[in-house]
Structure 1
Amino acid sequence: MDQRLISVIVLGFGFMFLFTAFQTMGNIEQTVIDSIKYDERTFEGDGYTSLAVIYATLSISNWLIPSAMSKIGPKIAMLLGSITYCFFILTFLWPQTWLLYAASAILGSGAALIWTGQGIYLSKCSDDSTIPRNSGIFWALLQMSMFFGNLLVFFLFQGKMHIDKNTRTLVFSILASIAVIGIGLLSALKVSNSSLRPTDDGIPEVHQSPKQAFISAVRLFKTTRMLMLSVSFVYTGLILSFFSGVYGACIGFTRAIGEQAKQLVGLNGIFLGVGEVLGGVVFGLLGKQTAKWGRDPIVIAGLIIHVASFFLIFMNLPDSSPFGDTDEVSYFHPPLVYVAILCSFMLGLGDACYNTQMYSMLGGVFAKNSAEAFSIFKFTQSVAAAVSFVYSSYFGLRVQLAILLVSSVCGTICFCLVEWAVKRSSALIRNDVDSTGHKE
């Protein structure tokens, strides 16, 4: 096993532990805050607003990150970013409204650092032939984070309609400890001033000045391919906010499910993770085969899976379920638990289809501008996620599903158009090389 693959695996495990803590936190945040408000009458925080602040700050910070990356490099960026995740979780041990939003803003800046650093590091550990495999391996390891934390929640929330202070303290303490393990693994990553890619691949090192890095990011954002991909990035942000913060709350707030509703929030997270990991493993193990087929069939499969899940969610959960405990029902009466959990799995699997191919596209096609490309990706995605968390406080479930349906179709079309353009360009280059070779 070569050093680059080992580095990808260590990177994946570091993110797995860190996001075991954070993704579990995001999945239960609105549900837990509802219980905190009951116990702490002075606490007025809102989970959707907190998540909106995170992604709004992340979107702004992403324009500054390429400049910072030219100074500190991807490893230090990931370490600094990971510390902000741990800090955010620890603030729930002392629930204060101002602290919730301050920690959310700090986390947004840290998220910009860690994700751009991750994108650059993954790109440096890959070449055109290994980027699909490495993207799949990283994604599978990352999404294993959905299992362990949510399994903990599933057992600790069992039979609880109200999440008491002792239970909350235990959960937050365990999650913070898990985050510390992730920080330790990221600190163990191999790093050098030179790229981990082969030296003859033509990928320049990060040597731009902060001003040049910012200008380069703006120029890349204005290109036709990146503007079209941004439509796809918007969809990944909208669906991210839906399955990471809204859908679990919808299940937990639907009283018609019964006393197990709150417990199912954890099970929802577990099956989201099953879908994500399955997608990552398949596209990781079949990286060379999927590279031959192209990225577009996988993204189209993700569209079909997500559209089917939107229909089932529409039929199963009430329109008012994003806002709080409700006695309303939808077309399935009573709501079907197995359908709710099946949709969790489908949301995760479809998301893996999109994200593994996004990483493959950015790490392969835009490898020479990896810092700028991943910053634009996270910027666009996080703006969409922030907007989604804002409207989640006002729009019912059906309007949210309609927005996801339209954006998924538009995002898939734009991604496929870019992929087809890349294929045509690659074919022309190969033909030119072949013709030159014949002449010689």
Structure 2
Amino acid sequence: MGGGGQVDTEVSSNANVALYTLFSVGGLVAGGIVNIIGPRIAMAIGASTYALYAGSLLSYNHNQNKGFVISAGAILGLGAALVWTGQGAILTSYPSERNKGKYIGIFWAIFNTGKDLALADVLRSGAVLGSILPLALNWSSTAGSVNDGTYIGFLVLMIFGSISALALLPPSRVFHQDGHPVQVQKFPTWKAETIEVAKLFLDWRMIALSPMFLASNWFYAYQFDDVNAAYFNVRTRAFNNLWYWFCQIIGATVFGLFLDAAFLTRSMRALYGLFIMSLFIMATWIGGLAFQLKYARGDKINRDLFDSGYGGELLLYMVYGLNDAMFQCYAYWIMGALTNDTSKLSRYNGFYKAIQSAGAAISWRIDAVGTAYLPQLLICWVLLIFSIIGTFAVAIKVKDTNYDSEGVVDNEIISI
């Protein structure tokens, strides 16, 4: 909704700084926690903190208690680390090499539809559902903040999502196509896990991918607060988000299938996928620059979806969503292409979320202190360019399979 659905975006921006700061710290230790208590419990605990944050925004509608919102954001950061590390470990370790792109695409589609409440609510209440809800409840409103019903709706969905996470099967009861169970290894000791996490900072592949990890959530502050919240009224913001997340469904599904394309080797898909994604990114941010030159921070615009010329602005916002889906899917896929080892993938995902969240914390803080919109756009764009360069260094080293080097047989191929 931009600004947490509020007129004053400062409080939500500061809450996001607290959220992503704690998310960054939590991401470094969440891998060990998930492997010890299991993804089911970890994700249920983590998801409950989303409900707390929604409740703090409901409270803010009545008492303007900034401290509660910021504190809830910090707690949410720790909870989100558990949710996303558990999700990432499942997403990149359950599928075989031939299906990782498809699994990632399916996840991102579910994540953004809200149709599957048992999974999507745990992760984000389903972004499309999360846009339809405020759109319906605020359709007749041209004000700048959303009503209580919006936050209550989110609160109920998030509580249900937290409880439904308990329905997830333990990894030992999940089976590949050939009948072999998926096992998520537990770490032997906290000391050993700490050493393994520290080694990630010396892994050249993680260092090269760090710009991509850093950029992957950086642009949210700009897109949600400096474009959507700054330029449009509340019902148009909800309408924009509906299409933003819908385009993510399309982008994730199509791009995920491409990353599994059988007519290309995996090493070729790594390079072609990066090239296609880069073209979309460059074209989109050129359009974004042209749009940003139309207004500046402090302008009172309150643009409505029925205003003349809105269609082009909506198209830009839709393509922002498409770019995001491709970027996030490729990030997961490239990590999954590095190894099939579940313990390594758990650490990779925790590291990914830690760097990603550190970037988001910086980005939201830059926005919270009132930085002009144009410099924020340029920072986002430059980071994306550096991420493409760093990712290319890893993509050219992607092997067609890791099964031989890791001493693992592709049982699915044998079963066929």
Q: In which range does the TM-score fall when normalised by the shorter chain? A: 0.7 to 0.9
Looking at structure 1, the residues matched to 54 and 302 of structure 2 have their Cα atoms a distance apart, in angstroms, of: 33
Aligned residue pairs: how many? 381
Give the aligned partner of residue 78 of structure 2: 109
CA contact (8 A) 1:298 1:354 kept: no
CA contact (8 A) 1:54 1:386 kept: yes
Looking at structure 1, the residues matched to 366 and 384 of structure 2 have their Cα atoms a distance apart, in angstroms, of: 18
Give the aligned partner of residue 262 of structure 1: 234
Please report how far the alpha carbon of residue 416 of structure 1 lies from its aligned counterpart in structure 2 after TM superposition. 1.8
CA contact (8 A) 1:251 1:340 kept: no
Query: TM-score, normalised to structure 2's length?
Result: 0.82
Matches within 5 A, 1:342-421: 342-368=315-341, 369-393=344-368, 394-421=370-397
Please report how far the alpha carbon of residue 406 of structure 1 lies from its aligned counterpart in structure 2 after TM superposition. 1.2
Distance 1:191 1:361, change over 3 A: same
The answer as to 2:145 corresponding to 1:160 is no
The answer as to 2:320 corresponding to 1:337 is no
CA contact (8 A) 2:105 2:254 kept: yes
SS of alignment partner, residue 422 of structure 1:
coil
Matches within 5 A, 1:55-134: 55-95=20-60, 96-134=65-103
CA contact (8 A) 1:66 1:217 kept: no
Please report how far the alpha carbon of residue 288 of structure 1 lies from its aligned counterpart in structure 2 after TM superposition. 2.7
Give the aligned partner of residue 46 of structure 1: 11
**One-letter code of the match for 1:116?**
T
Distance 1:218 1:335, change over 3 A: farther
Identity fraction in percent: 21
> Which is worse superposed, 85-94 or 97-106?
85-94
Looking at structure 2, the residues matched to 131 and 382 of structure 1 have their Cα atoms a distance apart, in angstroms, of: 24
* More helix, by proportion: 1
CA contact (8 A) 1:48 1:392 kept: yes
Q: Which runs of 5+ in 2 are unaligned?
A: 114-125, 410-416
Looking at structure 2, the residues matched to 59 and 138 of structure 1 have their Cα atoms a distance apart, in angstroms, of: 23
Matches within 5 A, 1:161-180: 161-163=142-144, 168-180=147-159
Give the aligned partner of residue 213 of structure 1: 193
Question: Deviation string for 1:148-187 (max 9, x for gaps)?
Answer: 22123234333534256xx521111111122233224322
**One-letter code of the match for 1:413?**
I
Please report how far the alpha carbon of residue 296 of structure 1 lies from its aligned counterpart in structure 2 after TM superposition. 3.0
CA contact (8 A) 2:230 2:302 kept: no
CA RMSD across the alignment: 3.1
Question: Deviation string for 1:202-227 (max 9, x for gaps)?
Answer: 97712331221121111023111110
Give the aligned partner of residue 116 of structure 2: none
Distance 1:148 1:155, change over 3 A: same
Give the aligned partner of residue 280 of structure 2: 305
Q: Which runs of 5+ in 1 are unaligned?
A: 1-26, 36-44, 253-260, 434-440
CA contact (8 A) 2:259 2:273 kept: no
Distance 1:66 1:267, change over 3 A: same
**One-letter code of the match for 1:169?**
D
Please report how far the alpha carbon of residue 250 of structure 1 lies from its aligned counterpart in structure 2 after TM superposition. 2.7
Question: Deviation string for 1:336-386 (max 9, x for gaps)?
Answer: 312221111111111111111111122342432011100110011111111
CA contact (8 A) 1:52 1:390 kept: yes
Distance 1:328 1:31, change over 3 A: closer
Distance 1:199 1:158, change over 3 A: closer
Distance 1:33 1:214, change over 3 A: farther
Looking at structure 2, the residues matched to 199 and 362 of structure 1 have their Cα atoms a distance apart, in angstroms, of: 25
